[in-house]
Structure 1
Amino acid sequence: MLLLFAVIALILNEAVAWSPTNSYAPGNVSCADDVNLVREASGLSANETAWLKKRDAYTKDALKSFLDRATENFTNSSFVDALWNSGKTPKLGVGCSGGGYRAMLSGAGMLSALDNRTSGADKHGLGGVLQSATYLAGLSGGNWLVGSLAWNNWTSVQDVIDNRGQDDELWDISNSILNPGGINIFSSASRWDQISDAVEAKQHAGFNTSLTDIWGRALSYNFFPTLYRGGEAYTWSTLRDADVFKNAEMPFPISVADGRYPGTEIIDLNSTLFEFNPFEMGSWDPSLNAFTDVKYLGTNVTNGTPVAKGQCVAGFDNTGFIMGTSSTLFNQFLLQLNTTSLSSFLKGIVEDFLDDLSDEYDDIAIYNPNPFRDTEFVASNYSHSVVDSSNLFLVDGGEDGENIPFVPLLQEDRDLDVIFALDNSADTEDYWPAGLSLIATYERQFGPQGKDFAFPYVPDVDTFVQHGLNSKPTFFGCEASNMTDLTRTPPLIVYMPNNRQSYNSNTSTFKMSYDSAQRMQMFQNGFEAVTRNNLTDDSGFAGCVACAIMKRKQESLNMTLPSECTQCFQDYCWDGKTASSSANVSTLGPASGSVSFVTDSATSTSSSSKKNGEPQMPQSHSMSWYVVFTTVLGVALGIM
């Protein structure tokens, strides 16, 4: 019987192994002698452009269906037909914030409210908006949400709910990632041995490894439970071959990470922001302005050309590794592992970081060789730090304070009319959002990295809290005529913050286990938070969302929206007023005041984060290592 199971496991492994080595280790593959793996970011890739043509056919029908349903009681519902007859279909994007498992679970509930595959979403929510979206971006915990749905054949949150209690249940995080077997210490030991073998294989293949390799492998068991060892050989680029993506039956998924310049520890709004999509990895920022084929990460190149002619590397783009790259902040948890119970290989890695690297490198993912090494077309008037380095260091996508992945969705070539921002950040001391991500992105557009996008005016943090903008959906940038001094008209932002409806969903970012009942409560509250409590607080909210979706096209076509939209914009658009009557909306930034704020990710991890020789959590978490340790201990013991 054991032999039979072994044979079945081997067959399954072969079936799902997309790395050329059939393992976590990358391997050599043949490629064209004249291949160049890097392109200038002068527009969308040919692959993305071709994919968009397919997606447009789906989103057009889905959006028409949603708008017809949402506006059926409007006095002038014929506006939707008039808009469609103009040939100008609004284009939607959705961004899912970071915030650990809180962001993943609450964000799942929010997404389910936009998904017509969810029971009751059409009647009590905003079902069909997700089907109408062209892009779906995630960051850190939000990336766990987007990645695990997309790379599980675009499964739905409803499927997750229906599959509760099964051996292959997605997001079964009843046990902490530190002790995945729970009280079964042998199961936990076996899991860590598997992780050790995988990461060691990558190192033996000649590639640098870091805590992010361990972290990504550990995460994958909960994100890809049907795959051999959590998708040990499952690659990011594999999605290109999945019918659901090839046929454009799902939104275009994007993951976000920040670059850290070689030799520095500073992450701020001038850091290079990287995106990963099924075709490419790279940055629109002027500090790089280049993309590379994500399938061939790990290839040693000069100016995009493989050093070994006709030979590339594949398998470096492990799905778990990329999802871990966007959430490296949580590498801190691995430093709490009891190293005496680990293999000698993992023990060595963890102890190295504990001994002398934790202050500088514990939150990085190492991409070596650097896929952009010696790229020649990077602007000469900007820093060459990224292209001059042999290593590319990437960190948690929220470490620059932009905890909602707006930037990929703001690119002019993607031409979005509206962005749904699902915010599960912990901006306040009690882990609720307060608009800090919007403020950071607004500020970024005025720095050297922001010359190619525009973002609407937003208020300071005191206004977000005192005016209740963080306690219900709010629209930003409603009137294009009020933003003529920006580089161009930005998309309208439908801001949907986490807020209490039926459950206290403001759980700690560092809470690393949720039982089945808690997961369901997080789902439910997320659904309610973005639907005005199942449309009971405002039965016309779906119609107001429809008005927001149509607004940009209405302005460009100089058409008249239905009269109900006027009331909607009065109810949901930020009116430009601030908590301080003297505030100037054109120069607003984070304000100091009576409210004390923290963020999910650090805006700076400078050398000052080390005190008395002991590593500290990023400053903006306002949590001591003692608190983190006791939190982890509580999670491991199942008491938190």
Structure 2
Amino acid sequence: MLRFVILLAYLSWLSVFAMAQTVASQAYTPVVARCPTGFNLVRMAGIPGNQTLSSSEASYIQNRKTDVLPKAWKKYLSNVLSTNPSLPGYVSSILSGASSEVPTLGIATSGGGYRAAIFGAGVLNALDARNSSSDAAGTGGLLQAATYLSGLSGGSWFITSLAQANFPTIQELIFGPAIPTVSNNSWGGWNADYDLATPSMDPAIDGEYYTDLADELRGKYDAGFVVTFADYWTRSLARHFANGTFSSNFYDESYTHGAGILWSAVANTTSFASHSIPFPIVVTNLQAPGQNSSETIAGDFIPLTNPIFEFNVFETGSFDPQLSAFAPTKYLGTTNNSICVTNYDQSAFIAGSSSELFNEANFTNTFNSSYGPILTLMASLMPEPKVEYDVASWPNPFYGVAPDTFIDSAQTNLNMVDGGEDGEIIPLQPLLVKARGIDVIFAIDATNDINGFADGSSLIATQNRTLLYPSAYSFPPVPTSMGEYTAQNLTTRPTFFGCNTTSLNESTPLLIYLANGGPPYDGEASVTNTSTAQTSYTSSEIQAMLNQTFVIATQGYPESGATKDPEWPSCLACAVVDRARERAGVARRGICSTCMDRYCWNGNTLTTAAPIA
């Protein structure tokens, strides 16, 4: 409470003295100019079953498949074979490139605040060929072999930081480089020991910090764009998940602290330009006036029928059939073909939009809430009397598009909120788009359903939503109640969904599901089920979580009495190639046959040993 009293004192000071625009404010301000010749804001993606990708995305994917993935798959195969040389020949044929069929892999990492960011990072660390321990475990290289990588909310913090920082190792991503170069464009780590809300133990320092964040929004406001609490949240996130902030300059306003680091500019990083990273996608939900509340899952805030939006490096929009349209990410903020806006697609604003859950607090008209002093500060500096403060506001590039089906066709601004507010906390939807041709998805679930652990509810929500749009998406059968996940231990072990051979397999991905569902089988007490509300972590806490996540990601589902399944690397590889195997017309055999029997959910029970109590 004391820090808020001090902040109110700052408000009085601000009412007398005008603050000069900071370098961060200048870098955060959208830029308005005439559009390029021949510019077209909206690309219609087509009807379900016949949708198209942008030419830029299609080119990136093709170049990655041609120039990068063959070597990546061979590296992964080598790591698997080092743990078990008796893989069926078809697995080696597919992964070595000898077969005409190859897998198209997508990885999805869920929301759940810092816990999800750390858990998702820990799983990808176990799949990273740059980690010698992962290579020795037989799982390293799968990250490099993935074609797509999606994230939302806490997962978006991880994905955006990874992509804009030029794809460093996971250890460097989280903890920063060993010898940092402090500049506006260099990476400094997650700075997780600084709390996202109150970074200092000193109320006076925090009060000044709050005013700094608010003042960094002045340029955007003065340029005529809507500013909400999501922008304030963005400037906090930027100090953790965008280039330019280090412990040594955390409070130094002579630095831009991630302002001006754009999501579309990821295309200019050397890792992206060389097609070396999986194509990154961030997911958010649309909060729309008149939305159909009858399609809202109990306890959630966004109906399943609302369009799901994705931000990829090249385009932003939705493949959902009610819109099926995209606008260039570089030109977000633009609403016509004549006057173009750039610099709106701040990387941290993408992450901030994907994790904007403040509408759940319902504080738009409750300035007496715990957020009251900050909201009062913003209202004093940048009054927005007719604006919802608890959403991320984006000028609507799809104004007038699909007026009969798109719920926000007549809205001047799109209100974006946390990507998991419809219950789909694993960002699977972009990976189900048929035009992307993804046939296997590695789904990382670090949601907070029960005591900081996942209970499978996100998969149920995705299944329910895909049933609403059967012409657009196909999803493998999953259990329909959370109790089934608990009873069958589906969240405490890796589980494969969609293994059974059906006529739908051609368009239905196989799902490799790995949840933060409980402690590992090695007997260690769990450290990965922290609260979503925990907004700061010490380095030792993070390292302990990374270490335990590595165990969870590499141990598989051991037989009773064991702590590790020695066949897990082979079983994982069998699942990765299974759709490609099916297309090649080859029958499962050898260890793959037994692996799929053990790890696949068969629609009723699992044919495998019971887990260790």
- Name the TM tier (shorter chain): 0.7 to 0.9
TM-superposed CA distance for 1:101, in Å, is 0.7
Matched, 1:285 2:320: yes
Deviation at 1:141, TM superposition (A): 0.5
Pairing of 1:112-151 with structure 2 (within 5 A): 112-124=125-137, 126-151=139-164
Deviation at 1:337, TM superposition (A): 5.0
CA contact (8 A) 1:100 1:510 kept: yes
CA distance in 1, matches of 2:201, 2:453: 32
Q: How has the CA–CA distance of structure 1 residues 386 and 212 changed in structure 2, closer, same or farther, with 3 Å as cutoff?
A: same
Aligned residue for 2:197, secondary structure, equals: coil
Match of 1:604 in 2: none
The residue that corresponds to 2:249 in the other structure is none
Aligned residue identity for 2:533 = F
RMSD: 2.8
CA distance in 2, matches of 1:74, 1:562: 15
Once the two structures are superposed, residues 605-635 of structure 1 have per-residue CA deviations (whole angstroms, 9 ceiling, x without a partner) of: xxxxxxxxxxxxxxxxxxxxxxxxxxxxxxx
Partner of 1:529: 552
- The runs of at least 4 aligned residues of structure 1 exceeding 3 Å deviation read 74-78, 160-169, 184-187, 263-266, 330-340, 342-345, 347-353, 486-489, 533-536
Deviations 1:410-452 (A, max 9, x none): 1111111210000001122x121111111111111111x4531
Cα deviation, residue 114, structure 1: 0.7
Residue-pair matches, total: 538
Query: How far is the alpha carbon of 1:347 from its aligned partner?
Result: 5.6
Distance 1:243 1:293 in 2: 21
Q: Distance in 2 between matches of 1:265 and 1:119?
A: 50
Indicate yes or no: 2:465 matched with 1:444.
Answer: yes
1:48 aligns with 2:48: no
Match of 1:466 in 2: 487
Shift of 1:330: 4.9
Identity %: 36
Whose helix fraction is larger, Structure 1's or Structure 2's?
Answer: 1
Q: Which of 342, 354, 372 is residue 398 of structure 2 equivalent to? A: 372
Measured in 1, the distance between the counterparts of 2:589 and 2:437 equals 24
What CA distance in whole angstroms lies between the structure 2 residues aligned with 1:105 and 1:58? 27
Structure 2 CA distance, aligned partners of 1:61 and 1:372? Answer: 40
Say if 2:223 is the partner of 1:205. Answer: yes
Answering whether residue 284 of structure 2 is matched by residue 257 of structure 1, we say yes
- Give SS of 2:103's match: coil
Aligned equivalents of 1:545, 1:346: Cα separation in 2? 50
- 2:353 is matched with which residue? 325
Tell me by how many angstroms 1:324 deviates: 0.4
Corresponding residue SS for 1:445 = helix
Q: Secondary structure at the match of 2:490?
A: coil
- C-alpha distance in 2 between matches for 1:390 and 1:523: 43
Q: 1:202 to 1:350 in 2, by over 3 A?
A: closer
**Is 1:189 the equivalent of 2:207?**
yes
SS of the aligned residue for 1:179 comes to coil
What is the CA distance between 1:387 and its match in structure 2? 1.5
CA contact under 8 A between 1:505 and 1:525: conserved in structure 2? yes
How many angstroms does 1:549 deviate by?
A: 0.8
Partner SS, residue 43 of structure 2: strand
Among 215, 227, 244, which residue is 2:271 paired with?
244
Which shows bigger deviation, 270-279 or 344-353? 344-353
TM-score, length-scaled by structure 1: 0.79
Name the structure 1 match of 2:417. Answer: 395
SS at match of 2:150: strand
Alignment of 1:258-277 (within 5 A): 258-264=285-291, 266=293, 267-277=302-312
**Residue 500 in structure 1 maps to residue 519 in structure 2:** yes
Change (3 A) 1:542 1:526: same
In the other structure, the counterpart of 1:105 is 118
Instruction: Determine the C-alpha separation between the residues in 1 that align with 2:129 and 2:78.
Output: 14
The answer (yes or no) to whether the contact 1:373–1:387 under 8 Å persists in 2 is yes
SS of the aligned residue for 1:385 comes to coil
Q: Distance in 2 between matches of 1:116 and 1:253?
A: 18
Shift of 1:193: 2.7
* 3-state SS, counterpart of residue 511 of structure 2: strand
Deviations 1:20-69 (Å, cap 9, x if unpaired)? x9511101133224311110113000000111122112122211221243
How far, CA to CA, are the matches of 1:138 and 1:110 in structure 2? 13
2:73 maps to: 63
Matched residue of 2:392: which SS? strand
Q: Which residue in 1 is equivalent to 2:9?
A: none
Paired residue type of 1:140: S
Q: Tell me by how many angstroms 1:559 deviates.
A: 1.1
Q: Distance in 2 between matches of 1:198 and 1:169?
A: 20
Q: 3-state SS of the aligned residue for 1:87? A: coil
Structure 1 residue 343, shift from structure 2 partner: 9.5
Structure 2 unaligned residues grouped into runs of 5+: 1-21, 47-51, 246-254, 294-301, 607-613
Task: Note the alpha carbon deviations across 1:319-374, whole angstroms, 9 max, x for none.
Answer: 1111100001157689865655x596426489989xx98xxx45421112x11011
> Separation in 2 of the partners of 1:384 and 1:416?
26
**Secondary structure class of the residue paired with 1:479:** coil
TM-fit CA distance, 1:197: 1.6
Cα distance in 2 for partners of 1:52, 1:189 equals 47
What is the identity, as a one-letter code, of the residue corresponding to 2:528?
A: S
Q: Pick from 596, 600, 603: which aligns with 1:576?
A: 603
Kindly indicate whether the alpha-carbon contact (under 8 Å) linking 1:367 and 1:393 is maintained by their aligned counterparts in 2.
Answer: yes
Task: Sort the Cα spacing of 1:259 and 1:450 in 2 relative to 1 into closer, same or farther, 3 A.
Answer: farther
Report the Cα offset of residue 226 of structure 1.
2.6
The aligned amino acid for 2:303 is: D
After superposition, the Cα gap between the structure-2 partners of 1:119 and 1:74, relative to the gap in structure 1 and judged at 3 Å, is closer
Partner of 2:252: none
What is the aligned partner in structure 1 of residue 586 from structure 2?
559
Amino acid at match of 1:451: S
Residue 534 of structure 1 deviates from its aligned partner by 11
Taking a change above 3 Å as real, the CA distance of residues 352 and 572 of structure 1, as seen in their structure-2 partners, is: same
